[in-house]
Structure 1
Amino acid sequence: MPVMEEALKASHPPIRSFVLRQGRITAAQTRAVAEHLSAWQMDAHAVWQDPWKSQRPLLLEIGFGNGEHLAAIARQRPGWGCIGAEVHTPGVGSLLLQLLETGTDNVRIIHDDVVTWLQTLPEALLQCIIVQFPDPWPKKRQQKRRLIQPEFAALLCRLLVPGGELQMATDWADYAEQMLAVLNATPGLQNTQPGTGYAPRPDNRILTRFERRGQRLGHAVYDLCYQRLP
C-alpha cells in the first residue's frame, strides 16, 4: 500500500519499549486467539479506517496487559469505540475471552508494535489515550527504553482531539517523576492537576489484578492526567 509505505518511510524508527517473552498461555487463550482474533483485530500495517465510521469517540489503551481494564471501560462506555494494543499473545487471548463472555462488541485489537502504527494515524483522532503500568525498565542503562519519552509524548498529543484526555499510571516512583517531567514539558498538553502534579485515580481506572498485587507489596501508584489544549 503506497500511502502506508510513504508514512513509514517518513517516521522515526520505532521505540522498542518491550521484549517479547514466552509467557504462559492457557489452552482457552490459545483457542480464543486462533478462533476469534480475526474478527476483532485491526491491521497495524494498513491505512487507517475507522471501524465505527467516525460515529463514535475513540479510546486507545496502549499495553492492555490481560485486558481487564479495557474490557471494563468498554462496558462502561458502550457508545465509544475502544481500541487496545498489546504485543503479548496471552494478554490478547485473555481479553478475547472476557469480551466473548460479556458480549462486548465495541473493542478492536492491535496485536502488534503500536508505536509504528501510531505514527501513521491522522491528527486529532482520539478522545482518550490510556497507558497503565508500562514496563519501568528500572536499571539505569535500560531507562532509554522506557516508553514515555519526549518524542512519544508529542506523538500522543498530536493524536488527541482538542480537549482529549491522556491518562497514565505507574507504581515506580522514579518513572512517575520522569513521566511528569516529560508530559509537563510537552507543548500542547496541560496537566489537569497543576497544583500537585499527580492526579486522583480516574473513575474509569479499575483496580486490576496487577495493581492489587502491587498494593500488597506496598507499592504506591501514581496517576497522571493531561488534556490537549485547544
Structure 2
Amino acid sequence: MTETHPKGAPWRNFYGRRHGKTLRPAQQRYLEEDLAALSPGPVEWEENPERRPLDLEALFGDRPLWLEIGFGGGEHLVHQAERNPDAGFIGCEPFINGVAMLLGKIREAGVENLRIHPGDARDLFDVLPEASVARAFLLYPDPWPKKRHHRRRFVTPEHLEPLARVMAPGAVLRVATDIPDYVRQTLEEVPKAGFRWTAGNPRDWREPWDDWLSTRYEQKALREGRVPHYLTFERDGRG
C-alpha cells in the first residue's frame, strides 16, 4: 500500500537542492513576473488533487511535446526550443536558481513554445496524458556516486515507469552522462522500463547528437577529464 500525505498526495522522497545562492535582483524579478505565466497548468497536488490531465492542445495546439527532465541552467532547453518551433516544450527543474537562469534566457531568446514545471518531474508525469511525449532529454542528471545512494538516481523504476507511460511508441529518450556507473545503470534499467537502445556502433554513444548544445555541466566534466556518453533509446510499441 502506497504511503500518502494527509491530504491524499503520494508520499515521495525528494533528494537534492531546491535553493542555492541568493538570487540576483533581476533573477528574482524573472520569477515574480514570468514564472506563473509559463506554468503548463495545475501540476502540484494542492492545485490539482484529482490529477486531471494537462490540456496539451490548449498549451501547444497539435505540436508534439518534448520534455527535458532537470534542465540545469536551461541553455539546452532554449536551444532546442529555438531550433524546433514546431514542437512544444516542458522543462522540469526543482532547483529554483536554475529556473531563474532559464527565465532570463527565455526573455533574451524570445521563445514562446516552452513551459516550466519548477518541481519534481514525477508530479508532472502524474498529469501528462498517456503516450503524449514524443521526445525526452535527461542530461547530466545528479550522479549520486555513493553506492547506497544509487536508488536516488533518475534511472530507477520509480521514475522510469511513469516516464514510459507518458511516452508515445517510437518516442526518443536521450541520456547524457559522464559517469561510467551511471551509464551501466542506465543500460540496465531503461530497457526494463520499455525502451530499446538504438546504438549500432561505438560512435553512437561516443559522439554527441547532431543538434547537441554542450551544457555547462558537460564543459565542467571535460575540464576535469571525464568522458561524456550519449545514449539514445526508443520507446517500445504497445501491444
Query: Match for residue 166 of structure 1?
Result: 173
**1:59-208 counterparts in 2 under 5 A?**
59-186=66-193, 188-193=194-199, 199=205, 200-208=207-215
Q: How many residues align?
A: 222
Letter in 1 for 2:93: E
Range with bigger deviation, 133-142 or 42-51: 42-51
Query: Match for residue 44 of structure 1?
Result: 43
Shift of 1:161: 1.1
| 8 Å Cα contact 2:178/2:228 also seen in 1 | yes
| 8 Å Cα contact 1:15/1:145 also seen in 2 | no
Name the SS for the 1:130 alignment partner: strand
Provide the rounded CA distance (Å) in 2 between the counterparts of 1:120 and 1:12: 13
1:152/1:196 CA distance change after superposition, 3 Å: farther
Shift of 1:58: 0.4
Letter in 2 for 1:65: G
Letter in 2 for 1:36: D
List runs of 5+ in structure 1 lacking aligned partners: none
Shift of 1:194: 5.4
Query: Match for residue 23 of structure 1?
Result: 21
Provide the rounded CA distance (Å) in 2 between the counterparts of 1:201 and 1:172: 15
| 8 Å Cα contact 1:44/1:114 also seen in 2 | no
| 8 Å Cα contact 1:17/1:147 also seen in 2 | no
**TM-score, structure 1 as length reference:** 0.88
**TM-score, structure 2 as length reference:** 0.84
Shift of 1:15: 5.2
Provide the rounded CA distance (Å) in 2 between the counterparts of 1:21 and 1:98: 19
| 8 Å Cα contact 1:85/1:112 also seen in 2 | yes
| 8 Å Cα contact 2:30/2:104 also seen in 1 | yes
| 8 Å Cα contact 1:129/1:166 also seen in 2 | yes
Per-residue CA deviation, residues 158-192 of structure 1 (Å, 9 max, x unaligned), is 21111110111111111111111111333x31111
| 8 Å Cα contact 1:136/1:146 also seen in 2 | yes
List runs of 5+ in structure 2 lacking aligned partners: none
1:12/1:204 CA distance change after superposition, 3 Å: farther
Name the SS for the 1:119 alignment partner: helix
Shift of 1:195: 5.4
Letter in 2 for 1:30: Q
1:161/1:153 CA distance change after superposition, 3 Å: same
Name the SS for the 2:35 alignment partner: helix
